Amino acid sequence: MQATAAIMYEDVHDLGLSLLEFVFSALALSGPSERTSTASLERIFEGLFYLDMDEAREYFASEDEWELVLEFLDRNSMAGWDLLNCMLTRNAHVDSLLRHRFFEEF
């Protein structure tokens, strides 16, 4: 049972990385690029900022390129950032993610 739970949390983490790439690629002002790839975003979020979403947000806020990304993730009192944090830190069960406040507007 523990192996199954570990796999599920790893799957949630990987889904969080996919969500990062989707949001950044779709909303970057210059469109998809190497900067919006999963590998690049993983290096930034996990390697550079150690999943500190406030620091990551500040980093992206310094460039106009990410204006729409920030607008999207900042909605509903930073719900997008919180959702990403839950997913990437492997701290949330799938059931709780589906009830996350990020999805309240949809």
**Could you report the per-residue pLDDT of 20-79, keeping only the tens digit for each?**
999 999 999 999 999 999 999 999 999 999 999 999 999 999 999 999 999 999 999 999
Instruction: In whole angstroms, give the CA distance from residue 28 to residue 83.
Output: 19
pLDDT at 91: 83
Torsion (CA) 92, 95, 97, 98 in degrees, nearest 10: 180
**Could you report the per-residue pLDDT of 6-21, keeping only the tens digit for each?**
888 899 999 999 999 9
Q: Helices in 28-88 by DSSP H: which ranges?
A: 38-42, 53-61, 67-88
pLDDT at 94: 85
* DSSP symbol at 43: I
pLDDT at 1: 54
pLDDT at 81: 98
Question: Could you tell me which of 32, 8, 25, 2 has the C-alpha nearest to residue 72?
Answer: 25
Give, for 46, the enclosing helix (H) or strand (E): none
Query: For residue 31, how many other CB atoms are within 10 A of its CB?
Result: 9
